[in-house]
Structure 1
Amino acid sequence: MVNILLTSALLIASSFVASSNIPDVQLADANTPNAQIAQASGEADYKLNHCGCHHDHHHHKTLAIEMFGERLMKNRVGFKTIRPRKCYRLPNINSCLLDGGKPGEGIIMFCTGSKCNGSCRSLPRLKWYTPGDMNFDIGGHANSVYWTTSEDDSLIQLA
């Protein structure tokens, strides 16, 4: 008797669900090819992080630095990703590749001090993207870096 009542209740409930009008909505499934393409291209991250305004979005830009302990890119120390307008400490490095050794935008500054102080040198990234001998360039190993994406930004205040 209980089985018959439960079966009847399930049939009635399923008929209500079947008769209801549920609109089709396409949900992003992480396992679908389109979702993977969007994730790989960064489109989803861009849409989540972009505010839709017309401000200069420095917080979206990054610069990859491959660091080396010796001159001419020998003895790899590691990698660091930096954002504009912030001083970053570095391990004691003597050379590096910026974005894989490609020219880029803005100005890069390396300093011997750990807080973007000491002996510093700044140059446009269009010219200085493979610093090969920090001892020659700044008078010692680099221990900090500062990057700005606009040549209008002043680096003199930090040096």
Structure 2
Amino acid sequence: MVNLLVISAFLLASGLAAGATIPSIQVSNTNGSTENQANLYKRHDGGWGGGRGGSGGRGGGGPTMNIQMYMTSYYRDQINSVVIQPNCCYNLPNIDSSVLDGGSQGAGVITFCTGNNCGGNCVSSSRQNWLYPGNMQYDLGGRANSVYWSL
């Protein structure tokens, strides 16, 4: 009888522990591999360039946004540009300013973060208002290393 109670308690506890470690949301793989589509397109490696096209390389269409990136504040020392699609986090080089879609207003909310994988200190603003993030160190408290555009 005691063995049955011990085994039952052990099975119940292990079931609760297993359930506590399984998240109820999708967590992106951040180990640098390309196991899922989001990871495949979220790393900026400097080789994308502005000629990526309207689909952002995903093969599907849909809305895109071009982000012109600069190493220093107020649009000096241009690095490159990247075309992103909504609802995906993109890692960026260490940037201090950017121009969003050539400075034209857009839909949704743009979020820049100081850490990779949209971590660290993040600041969000409407695409109707934030067209030229000119000083990330002032706006975010550090340089931007990732971006997320939500519609």
TM-score (norm 1): 0.57
CA deviation after TM superposition for structure 1 residue 103, in Å = 1.2
Distance 2:143 2:94 in 1: 6
| Identity across the alignment (%) | 45
Structure 1 unaligned runs (5+)? 1-41, 43-48, 50-58, 150-159
Alignment pair present for 1:121 and 2:109: no
Partner of 1:80: 82
Distance 1:71 1:105 in 2: 25
Distance 1:67 1:137 in 2: 15
Partner of 1:143: 145
Task: Count residues with an aligned counterpart.
Answer: 94
The 5-angstrom pairing of residues 1-159 of structure 1 reads 60-149=62-151
Distance 1:104 1:130 in 2: 12
Secondary structure (helix, strand or coil) at the match of 1:123 reads strand
Distance 2:73 2:126 in 1: 20
Partner of 1:18: none
Secondary structure (helix, strand or coil) at the match of 1:118 reads coil
Distance 1:128 1:134 in 2: 12
Which portions of structure 1, spanning 4 or more consecutive aligned residues, are displaced by more than 6 angstroms? none
CA deviation after TM superposition for structure 1 residue 102, in Å = 1.0
Secondary structure (helix, strand or coil) at the match of 2:102 reads coil
Structure 2 unaligned runs (5+)? 1-53, 55-59
